[in-house]
Structure 1
Amino acid sequence: MEISTFDIRRVPLLWPVLLWTVGLLLVRSDAVSISVAATLFLLIVSALLYLRKFQLAVVLLLGVAWGTIDLLQDASDMAVDQTWLNSDLQVTATVVKVEQGGSSLRLLLSDIERSDGESVGGKALLYLYGKRDLLPDAGQQIAALVRWRQPQNYRNPGAFDYRSWCFDRAIALIGSAKGDIRVIDDRVSLLEVARARIRSAIAFAGEREQGVLHALLLGERSRVQEPVSRVFSATGTAHLLAISGMHVGMAAAWLFALLWWLLTRREAWIVKLPVRNVAMTGGMIGAVVYAALAGWPLPAIRATLMLAAAVVAWQLTSKHESFNILLAALGLILLFDASAITSISLWLSFVATAALLLWGKQPERKQSLSWSQRIVTGLRMLFWSSLLAMLATLPIVVTTFGTLPLYGLPANLLLVPLYGLIVLPSALLGEVAAVAGAGVVAGALMQFSGTMAGAGIDLIEAISMLPAGTMYAVLPPLWLSLLYVAGMVAAGVIWWKQKKRAALLMLLLTLGGYLGFILQESDVDRPMWLVWDVGQGAASTLLLPGGEVLNIDAPGYEGSRFNGGTTVATGLRAVGQLHADVLIFTHAQSDHLGGALSLAEGLNWIGEIWLPDVPSAHGHRSVQRLITAGSAVRWLSRGDRVAGRGYVAEVLWPPKDYAPANRNNSSLVVLIRLSNGIRALFPGDIEAEVERQLLTGGLGPVDVMLMPHHGSRSSSTTGFVKQVQPGFVVAQAGRNNRYGFPDSRVVARYRESGAVFVNTADGAVLMELSALPALQQREPGISSRRDMALKWWQPW
């Protein structure tokens, strides 16, 4: 085997594209603060001027200027008048895309216009709950009564930046429909007719496999069932579900191979036609059609541009440096779409491809190879390419998905050939048959493709069940990722110099140090209480010295991809925790228990689960699923007492087998006494009736507590507040929630008692539970470059 070498003299685009990229990153990325970005910019420009690299300095300046202009242009599309918000408005809009997932339908809308003629420059997401019989088609124009809000972030440690995600997709408004929606123009484009035929053909596959085929062919990844999506992520094969470079390239390669085979059947065609160029152009056209039928998702656009650059370069000269082609494609993508600079899919594809070009092994050239030799060579190439891609993209995967795919290499070795050689080709043939109107043939092909896709799912499910098959990691800091990249590049350079042992040692040291950091949990010196921002729901966590983690509640809709359970699991990983010793669920309602399974599955291990010993909890579906999954459950009732490391928990309510008409009153009420004397009260959603019962039991003052029932006026009676006299009281409520929680009169009672009041609607609360509890809260403020750009257009 020969190792490919890198000749920088044949890559004239390296420094221009690198500096263009750096310029965009300094403007559009939030990886570093603005002050740090400005300092880096001045240092780089000064260095270039000192080295007399004036042209490169100009490229950097152009990158910064273009990034700024594009950012402000995007912000102008996102700017909306305050009159659009928090009131019911009659609007018309064009449906761009329809997504089904969880408990709702989601419509991506454009051309949004109010009844008074005012319009929005950007797009909007409209959620429909329980309206599946009213599903419109993409391309149709609808009218609806909608309440709009701007995209907001949950302000938690490690939280997903939803506002930035919406900004980069020009989504200015989020709304929910009031009542029915009406289709006022039912004309549908030929493209949408074709997509509808493809969906009908996909229906012949199994229910679980349909989601995979929707993702592969139509870019509708939201249809992939959550358990399936989770095992793809855990095994490092999630890239197979995204229409990215591999899928676009495969579509082009299969059509190229077909055209090549057809055009070489006759000698006259070989002589008269530029067979290679015709086949490559045909492959490119096939890739464009495939991406168009998928609805042109952003990864497909970028992959198509990259493929186009490669085809053009190849047709111009077959001796062109491959890495130069990759850089040209990157520069082209960032020129037309500056927001792609923060795209995870772009960098996953680019980094993996760059690693293969720089350090990939090329097979020895022989005059002829037998089929067995070709198979061995192909498997060897697949092994090396999978290994290189995994090592190169590891920091991106860990930072983005939070998982460490320990079995990623064997999983990819099994699934990439299966999906690339069987599932995708048969699905593409089914897609062609469906568009052509051959429904029976299309259905048979989709059924076969689904069966093969299902076999792949079974394989990675089995892999994920192996020891450490699903392994989560703590959120790595930026400096650690940069050190990892530096170490891997150093190992690669040493490998180029044929010092294989030294290169291997550098690789192992880099990989071992990185893994040691991301798998090491952190500890706290003093008890900490983290109350999460989860909207209109409840979730909080006690972090105790010695690594003890107690979590109370996790809201959400069962089966949804993102809910309070995933929020808490992600947040715990961000603060250095990969487990929970105890999961306490106060009662069996979705705003306290709906995210339980997501939380349990989002950690490396959990100890036991505490639940109220009442019928409503025993019969709840989420509880049954937890028990089926093997969770150890401790059923608690009034009078129970549990001692742990650094705490004692006293159960104050409910009585065993308590079954009130109002299920809120069956909430588990737990008083936790910490070893330093701090008393913390977690009352669930109890109301006035139960509060009176607790007062007769001699409930005394507490140091910190959650406000019962999110601050409803049906709870926190005057007598209850006077008796508990909390030092700090936290209301868990969603911003601008429709219930009006917490009630102003309730808040006034606590403040009159001397309590410090905090609301998670203003961000997650982090409190040090020492003799004098210290409070921190994540302030809303301006959190990103995008917010600053919006302030330019919205000075109010």
Structure 2
Amino acid sequence: MQPRGQYGLLLWTILGIGCLTWLHHWTFVLPYVREGLMVCCGLSLALVLAKRWRLANPRLTRLIFGLFGLTSLLFYSQIMVQERLTQTVPQAWLHETFVVQGEIVDLPVRTPFGVRFLFRPSEQQADERLQSVAQSGSLPRLVSLSWYDDDLPSEKLRLGQVWRVPISMRVPHASLNSGGFDQEKSWWAQGVRAIATVRVNERTELIQRPQLIEQKNGVWYGLQNWRAGALAKIDGMLPHDEMDSVAVFKALTLGDQSDISASSWQLFQRTGVTHLVSISGVHITMLAALVMWLVQRLWRRSVWLCAWMPSIYAGQWLGVLVALLYSLVAGWALPAQRTVLMLFLWLVLTRLGIAVSAVRVLCLALLVAVVSDPFCVLTLSFWLSFGAVAWLVLAFSMWSEDFERMTNVSWRMRWRRVVGGQVATGMALLPMSVYFFQQAPLFGVLINLVAIPLVSAVVTPLLLLSVLSLMLFGWASSLLWANDFLRWCLSALTWLNDRLPEAMWKADLNWWQALLLVGFGVLLVNVWRRGWRVVAAAAMAVIVFGLSMMPKERVPYGQVFVHVLDVGQGSAVVLRMNDEVWVYDAGPRYGSDSDAGLRVLLPFLRDARIDVIDKLILSHDDADHTGGASSLTKAMRVREVVSSIGRDRLQTLGVLADGYVFCQVKQNWHVSGVDLIMLNPEERLRESALASDNQKSCVLRVEAAAQGQWRSFVLAGDIDALQEARLVVLPTGGVRRWPTDVALMSHHGSNHSSSAPWLEAIQPKIAIAQAGFMSQFVHPHPWVVARYHDMGAQVINTAQGGEIRFCLGCPSAGLRQYRQTQPYLWRDMSNAQQVLRKNN
């Protein structure tokens, strides 16, 4: 294929993937796909007739057949989408418990409260309602099932087991904030259409207790259960005081990343080696290349073997086979599947002479991937794994085109090509990392020059050999030695990170900027001999880089951009002013190694290009409000903490800051034309041992100087009705003179707060509840919602709307609920909205 034809195919492939991604995001496209396919079919038929009459233009022919293939892909994807949309949890099921029979289809993962795994309901169900739904195709085919520790059975949960368990199901729903991970999108891409919990209590005992039906056997089940046994042995053999190295050990060998701590992930992100910890495309490709080289060197020593098969062929086949076996042992994750697919297609097509072009192999692999799973374009791993392998293929394209010539190339030239390929891959992944994560380590390219060959060629094979020796011969000493070596490597990485200057490329790339930067890399790899193109591409990259580094629009003087974040059952609000950024509360803790600081606040602040928090207000000592403070303050500088909590207690919680101040009534700050006034607590109340922590909550009033639709906002923490009554009549700055436009519901909308006197005093137009989805506390309480409605206030819940943002002092408040701005296919909130209306 000529170069022009190669890049024409690549262009059509990129266009197809882009349209497929767009189709998944925007629902209004679906009705027009069928009509587009019919039009393309008619054009293709006309083209065939014209070609028969020798009237067809070659360029027009390629265009029409390209459009036909594109619309066929979209139509096929539309069928898959509509089939997945039919799988849903009926609203009538949300408060019921059903006995469901199904199979465990992945390894159970430990959580802070029990285990979680994917559960596939069987086609045959004993329950008549379930059976009727299953026959109609509406029963969710994949369920994310949680099983609490107190209810776990005596039998060990294993992949391939068929259980009959009582469960309660709900629609997939997760917190949604700008800059954060979209868990609902991930569930949709995996095919998870229901979230369920095993219910073993007095009520379910009357129905049926969990019952193990059978254990399925087979190669896949045996391999994965062997993997589970190996993970258990590694945990039992290695010391528990070295959990960081043990977690990385399991990730590199068997693909289990569940135990890697948040601090370790931060270290890997700062040094740019995150892709090496997972079973990624670069990792598997480099391992296959190492095996290929070793086999080729050894194969040449046998005349009989070379006569039977050339050494280059043997090395390639065994390299791909090792990549396949390693991917299977490591759990056969999606990035590993795509990498093995690309390597296999590259090998088969080049050996058969069907596709001697690396670009054609790449396009065919992408086509096979999206046809086998049209939802893969929604996963982050699709872009990163395919992107990394694609850049390796392009960088080493001369190997696939004429690999035999490599035997006559000097070692110096080989190392230059290897290093050049790694640099090209690292540079290509920089804009992708910035696009997806809003930051990328600039020193990561240099670190990976050593880390990639070290991890792929030395560390991983050594760890794999130690695991095999343990499982086959019971040699625990090799496991300990390998872990010591891995711990030394992690210590070296930590030492390097501590001594390297902070060099993170922090930006908010648009999709077109990232695409232009990747295009610049393509030009460098493929037309590097044509200097004028390199100069033009470099100029384009500088322009795009400059655009990406331009600061975001600053908040005008006298105005406040308010972001009420969706953190579940907790509180976190970001106030952005012209010169300062304040954060009110840091959200809850979700587990031993996960909190709102890591999962919500930090991604949001990075997306907004905020590096420093001027004031962090922690309203009171409650895990729902301080759970993410430690992670937040360790990752970002905080100039001052204002709280009703003492400094010693804050330091015990791990809250770091330049200064600590008690919140107290009559405190007043004037920042960039904005008045921020503290309404609670009094010093006597704060020091009282009889008052509850909720009553000591810092109550903050924000008032913008600029004239606008809304000007004031009250954040009341978790004060109860008694403290609200005190504030109403408090002689030293009570709230009787403080009507407000927007109010954050006291105590998330608890029935013990938001009393009538308080509402009459603040008279809000908008009331916002920060509550968990289908919260067991029933927040906001229906009675409280009714009281706000009687006052004429509009009630908004973050559980329903996601992140809520608005502006104080702006001509238009610009109230926006983040969930409503993204009406994607997986945002099917019909059932969720009915539940929320029922609770309210």
- TM-score, length basis structure 2: 0.81
Per-residue CA distance 1:657-713 (angstroms, 9 max, x = gap): 344474322322233444449443222111123223323242332413211101111
1:438 corresponds to which of 473, 496, 499: 473
CA contact (8 A) 1:234 1:403 kept: no
Per-residue CA distance 1:246-298 (angstroms, 9 max, x = gap): 23334434544554455444333333444443443333332222222222211
- 1:166 counterpart residue number: 187
Say which SS state the counterpart of residue 223 (structure 1) adopts.
Answer: coil
- 1:156 counterpart residue number: 177
In structure 2, relative to structure 1, the CA distance for the partners of 1:777 and 1:560 (3 Å cut) is farther
- 1:72 counterpart residue number: 82
Determine what percentage of the aligned residue pairs are the same residue: 23
- 2:231 counterpart residue number: 199
User: In structure 2, how many angstroms separate the alpha carbons of the residues matched to 1:481 and 1:41?
Assistant: 30
- 1:352 counterpart residue number: 388
CA contact (8 A) 2:619 2:699 kept: yes
Counterpart check, 1:626 vs 2:655? yes
Deviates more, 1:723-732 or 1:653-662: 653-662
Counterpart check, 1:313 vs 2:341? no
CA contact (8 A) 2:292 2:319 kept: yes
Amino acid across the alignment from 2:95: N
- 1:295 counterpart residue number: 331
In structure 2, relative to structure 1, the CA distance for the partners of 1:152 and 1:114 (3 Å cut) is farther
Counterpart check, 1:127 vs 2:146? yes
Amino acid across the alignment from 1:63: L
User: In structure 2, how many angstroms separate the alpha carbons of the residues matched to 1:781 and 1:10?
Assistant: 41
- 1:745 counterpart residue number: 783
In structure 2, relative to structure 1, the CA distance for the partners of 1:309 and 1:415 (3 Å cut) is same
CA contact (8 A) 1:390 1:409 kept: yes
Counterpart check, 1:7 vs 2:3? yes
User: In structure 2, how many angstroms separate the alpha carbons of the residues matched to 1:14 and 1:479?
Assistant: 17
Higher RCO (Cα < 8 Å, 6 or more apart): 1
1:408 corresponds to which of 444, 463, 470: 444
In structure 2, relative to structure 1, the CA distance for the partners of 1:388 and 1:130 (3 Å cut) is same
Say which SS state the counterpart of residue 575 (structure 2) adopts.
Answer: strand
Alignment of 1:282-431 (within 5 A): 282-317=318-353, 320-358=356-394, 374=411, 380-431=416-467
Counterpart check, 1:177 vs 2:198? yes
* Corresponding residue pairs, total: 776
CA contact (8 A) 1:729 1:758 kept: yes
User: In structure 2, how many angstroms separate the alpha carbons of the residues matched to 1:502 and 1:472?
Assistant: 23
Say which SS state the counterpart of residue 222 (structure 1) adopts.
Answer: coil
User: In structure 2, how many angstroms separate the alpha carbons of the residues matched to 1:737 and 1:407?
Assistant: 44
Per-residue CA distance 1:472-509 (angstroms, 9 max, x = gap): 73533334334434555566676341348725742651
Say which SS state the counterpart of residue 90 (structure 1) adopts.
Answer: strand
1:211 corresponds to which of 247, 257, 261: 247
Amino acid across the alignment from 1:774: A
Counterpart check, 1:611 vs 2:650? no
CA contact (8 A) 2:765 2:792 kept: yes
CA contact (8 A) 2:804 2:815 kept: yes
CA contact (8 A) 2:188 2:826 kept: no
Counterpart check, 1:247 vs 2:301? no
CA contact (8 A) 1:642 1:650 kept: yes
Deviates more, 1:729-738 or 1:638-647: 638-647
User: In structure 2, how many angstroms separate the alpha carbons of the residues matched to 1:154 and 1:599?
Assistant: 18
- 1:86 counterpart residue number: 95
Counterpart check, 1:116 vs 2:127? yes
Per-residue CA distance 1:88-117 (angstroms, 9 max, x = gap): 333333222212355553222112676515
CA contact (8 A) 1:653 1:667 kept: yes
Displacement of 1:399 after TM fit? 2.4
In structure 2, relative to structure 1, the CA distance for the partners of 1:658 and 1:177 (3 Å cut) is farther
User: In structure 2, how many angstroms separate the alpha carbons of the residues matched to 1:253 and 1:789?
Assistant: 45
User: In structure 2, how many angstroms separate the alpha carbons of the residues matched to 1:583 and 1:718?
Assistant: 30
CA contact (8 A) 2:283 2:452 kept: no
User: In structure 2, how many angstroms separate the alpha carbons of the residues matched to 1:547 and 1:207?
Assistant: 39
Say which SS state the counterpart of residue 786 (structure 1) adopts.
Answer: coil
User: In structure 2, how many angstroms separate the alpha carbons of the residues matched to 1:491 and 1:282?
Assistant: 32
Say which SS state the counterpart of residue 369 (structure 2) adopts.
Answer: helix
- 1:229 counterpart residue number: 265
Structure 1 residues without counterparts, runs of 5 or longer: none
Say which SS state the counterpart of residue 484 (structure 1) adopts.
Answer: helix
Structure 2 residues without counterparts, runs of 5 or longer: 48-58, 202-208, 836-840
User: In structure 1, how many angstroms separate the alpha carbons of the residues matched to 2:814 and 2:789?
Assistant: 16
Displacement of 1:309 after TM fit? 0.7
Deviates more, 1:153-162 or 1:324-333: 153-162
In structure 2, relative to structure 1, the CA distance for the partners of 1:643 and 1:17 (3 Å cut) is closer
Counterpart check, 1:667 vs 2:697? yes
Displacement of 1:558 after TM fit? 5.4
User: In structure 2, how many angstroms separate the alpha carbons of the residues matched to 1:530 and 1:265?
Assistant: 68
CA contact (8 A) 1:527 1:543 kept: yes
Amino acid across the alignment from 1:200: A
In structure 2, relative to structure 1, the CA distance for the partners of 1:45 and 1:587 (3 Å cut) is farther
User: In structure 2, how many angstroms separate the alpha carbons of the residues matched to 1:268 and 1:746?
Assistant: 85
- 2:487 counterpart residue number: 454
- 2:206 counterpart residue number: none
CA contact (8 A) 2:580 2:613 kept: no
CA contact (8 A) 1:423 1:450 kept: no
Per-residue CA distance 1:619-671 (angstroms, 9 max, x = gap): 367x53223xx654333344544554444444321534344474322322233
Per-residue CA distance 1:34-67 (angstroms, 9 max, x = gap): 7999999999999999834232232222222222
Amino acid across the alignment from 1:663: D
In structure 2, relative to structure 1, the CA distance for the partners of 1:489 and 1:653 (3 Å cut) is same
CA contact (8 A) 2:516 2:541 kept: no
1:59 corresponds to which of 63, 66, 69: 69
User: In structure 1, how many angstroms separate the alpha carbons of the residues matched to 2:12 and 2:814?
Assistant: 48
Alignment of 1:452-601 (within 5 A): 452-465=485-498, 469=502, 471=504, 473-489=506-522, 495-499=528-532, 502=535, 505-506=538-539, 509-510=542-543, 512-517=545-550, 520=552, 522-524=554-556, 526-557=559-590, 559-561=592-594, 563=596, 565-600=598-633
Counterpart check, 1:28 vs 2:24? yes
